[in-house]
Amino acid sequence: MAYRETEKMRQRKAAVRQKITDCTYRCVAEGGFRNAKVTRIARMADVATGTIYRHFDSKEDLFAEIFRRATQHEVNKVADALAPPGDARERLERALRRFAERALEGPVMAWSLIAEPVDPKVEKERLAYRKAYADLFEQAIREGIEEGCIPDQNTRQSSTCLVGAVSESLVGPLSPSQTGQITTDKTDNNPLVDTIIRFCIQGLTGTRR
Amino acid sequence: MAYRETEKMRQRKAAVRQKITDCTYRCVAEGGFRNAKVTRIARMADVATGTIYRHFDSKEDLFAEIFRRATQHEVNKVADALAPPGDARERLERALRRFAERALEGPVMAWSLIAEPVDPKVEKERLAYRKAYADLFEQAIREGIEEGCIPDQNTRQSSTCLVGAVSESLVGPLSPSQTGQITTDKTDNNPLVDTIIRFCIQGLTGTRR
DNA sequence: CAAAAGAATGAATCATGATTCATTAAACTT
DNA sequence: AAGTTTAATGAATCATGATTCATTCTTTTG
């Protein structure tokens, strides 16, 4: 017998793979999937282009993995914001705010996840992503209805309106090229976000705060 | 002297040009700008690919023209809906409904105009398009504020939220490939549209109808 | 260390589609 | 009808970028 994968090798391979995914993520965050050419990723990760194909069957597969990783992260953030105690309305407001702030911090990534055209395998991931958000918001709206602080309505459709209002307002206008035209101050008192949140909550509850 | 363009020729050229733009429009309506390859347009219009370059400097220019044509049409439709008498709230509701119905009738075109990534020259047209919508809605909101039927607010931002909520709800979910999964009944009593409109009006006015 | 196996390389190949341009056809003018 | 000018043609060329694969480098094992 002549060769068997050793632990050291396993780790080294994992490290390379990790570097590739990290660089892909960075490329996408910078300029969307359009911007993430295999050659560029390879250069950035300091490997040969062929190496990428040793770790992934195709660019599409690589992208799908990145997409999954990114969306899990985002959805978790929003889920976290929804978790703490409070009435449904408060919690929804918190979640929307988190969603909006995340989008403002990384508008290009947000746009890529929400709206950039992608290959079929990635589109499949996107469906799951949309569903995850819709489920989160829907659940909260439903709880609000039970609690009586939100009037009865089609929860799924409302949830979609929420995502639409926020994402279009924040990432739609400055979608592809023109980044950095929005004041991305880390502090969460961005008046734009406030306006959007108010619109959403009113759309949901039909009452002015 | 040897040659001077005659009326007949002028008309024939105009006809060819028209045929090219028509076919481009159809291609885009079917599958977005992605789908509108020069070769396909040429085949469809029954001209040689080179002929297209006799009428347009580049594909980008052709696209820009199509985009302009399409958006003028859409914006006019919405402006029409905004024109008839009524209080601002009624008129806004009518305009939003028109906007939504148009999007439902041609979801792919709507998506192309709103969200599909396009070349710089086309993106420039899109900015004008967005602005046209924003201006329309904004003006109506402002009138509503004066009339007292809409509370004071940032009219520009609210207007963006309107466009976002509607477009995401209608064309976002079924953006690229999967058309025809929505019940596109011509009758204007689509419950999905009703839900969205209600959400928007509430978001704007803060009152349940 | 030599043999064996896997990993990495990156130039070459393929695929897609826009654009060009030498050639042909058509339209005017006298 | 011959000469001149513009229009149309579509195969060839260019540009971009994904993918392959013969070759080279590393690791493992006896």
Count the neighbouring beta carbons within 10 Å of the beta carbon of residue B14. 11
Task: For residue B127, count CB atoms less than 10 angstroms from its CB and return exposed for 0-12, middle for 13-18, buried for 19 or more.
Answer: exposed
Residue after which a domain boundary falls, among A38, A56, A74: A56
Per-position b or e across B47-63, b if 16+ CB within 10 A of its CB: beeebbeebbeebeebb
Residue after which a domain boundary falls, among B56, B74, B95: B56
Task: For residue B169, say whether its CB is under 7 Å from any atom of strand D.
Answer: no
Asked if residue A113 and residue A155 are part of one domain, the reply reads yes
Closest CB to B169 among A153, A164, A202: A164
Asked if residue A158 and residue A82 are part of one domain, the reply reads yes
Residue A33 has pLDDT above 50, yes or no: yes
Mean pLDDT of A81-92: 92
- Going by pLDDT thresholds of 50, 70 and 90, the confidence category of residue B189 is low
Structural domain boundaries, residue B18: 1-56
The better pLDDT of the pair A163, B48 is held by B48
Residue of A nearest to B151 (CA): A208
Asked if residue A162 and residue A100 are part of one domain, the reply reads yes
Asked if residue B143 and residue B42 are part of one domain, the reply reads no
CATH number of the domain within which B163 lies = 1.10.357.10
How many CA atoms within 13 Å lie on the side-chain side of B208?
Answer: 8
Mean pLDDT of A139-153: 93
Count the neighbouring beta carbons within 10 Å of the beta carbon of residue A174. 15
Q: Do A161 and B165 touch (CB under 8 A)?
A: yes
Rounded to a whole number of angstroms, the distance from the CA of B13 to the nearest CA of chain A is 36
| Terminal Cα distance for chain B, rounded | 74
Give the angle B69-B74-B77 at the CA atoms, nearest 5°.
Answer: 130
Report which listed range, A159-163, B5-9, B60-64, B162-166, is most confident. B60-64
Q: Outline where DSSP puts E strands in B39-147.
A: none
Q: How far is the CA of A42 from the C1' of D19 (A)?
A: 14
Per-residue confidence (pLDDT) for residue B175, from 0 to 100: 40
Asked if residue A156 and residue A100 are part of one domain, the reply reads yes
- Residue pair B109/B71 in contact (Cβ under 8 Å)? The answer is no
Instruction: Round to whole Å and give the CA distance between B41 and B58.
Output: 13
Asked if residue A81 and residue A30 are part of one domain, the reply reads no
Asked if residue A114 and residue A66 are part of one domain, the reply reads yes
Using an 8 Å CB-CB cutoff, list chain B residues near A196.
157, 161
Rounded to a whole number of angstroms, the distance from the CA of B116 to the nearest CA of chain A is 7
Q: For residue B45, what are the CA distances in angstroms to B61, B62, B64, B133? A: 17, 14, 18, 32
Per-residue confidence (pLDDT) for residue A187, from 0 to 100: 54
Instruction: Round to whole Å and give the CA distance between A179 and B56.
Output: 30
Would you state the structure tokens that stand for residue B43, as one six-digit string? 């085949």
B8-62 residue pLDDT tens: 888 999 999 999 999 999 999 999 999 999 999 999 999 999 999 999 999 999 9
* Alpha helix positions (H), A83-106: 88-105
Instruction: Round to whole Å and give the CA distance between A75 and B41.
Output: 41
Host H or E run for residue A62: helix A59-82
A49-85 residue pLDDT tens: 999 999 999 999 999 999 999 999 999 999 999 998 9
Instruction: Round to whole Å and give the CA distance between B1 and A171.
Output: 59
CATH number of the domain within which A23 lies = 1.10.10
Closest CA-bearing residue to C1' of D28: A3
Per-position b or e across A24-43, b if 16+ CB within 10 A of its CB: bbebbbebbbebbebebbbe
| Total number of domains in chain A | 2
Asked if residue B80 and residue B17 are part of one domain, the reply reads no
The pLDDT > 90 percentage for chain A reads 59
Of A97-106, A167-176, B87-96, the poorest mean pLDDT is in A167-176
Asked if residue B133 and residue B113 are part of one domain, the reply reads yes
- Going by pLDDT thresholds of 50, 70 and 90, the confidence category of residue A177 is very low
B123-153 residue pLDDT tens: 999 989 988 988 999 999 999 999 999 999 9
Residue after which a domain boundary falls, among A22, A37, A56: A56
Amino acid type, B94: R
Asked if residue A101 and residue A89 are part of one domain, the reply reads yes
Rounded to a whole number of angstroms, the distance from the CA of A207 to the nearest CA of chain B is 5
According to DSSP, the residues that pair with B207 across neighbouring strands are A207
Per-residue confidence (pLDDT) for residue A182, from 0 to 100: 47
Q: For residue B152, what are the CA distances in angstroms to A151, A162, B126, B136, B181? A: 24, 21, 28, 17, 39
Asked if residue A10 and residue A73 are part of one domain, the reply reads no
Asked if residue A48 and residue A88 are part of one domain, the reply reads no
B124-127's contacts with Cβ under 8 Å and 24+ in sequence apart are: B124/B64, B125/B64, B125/B67, B125/B68, B125/B71, B126/B67, B126/B71
The better pLDDT of the pair B186, B28 is held by B28
Number of H helices, E strands in chain A: 9, 0
Mean pLDDT of A123-135: 89
The mean of the pLDDT values for chain A is: 87
B164-179 residue pLDDT tens: 778 777 776 554 334 4
- Going by pLDDT thresholds of 50, 70 and 90, the confidence category of residue A13 is very high
Q: How far is the CA of B48 from the C1' of C25 (A)?
A: 13
Per-residue confidence (pLDDT) for residue B121, from 0 to 100: 94
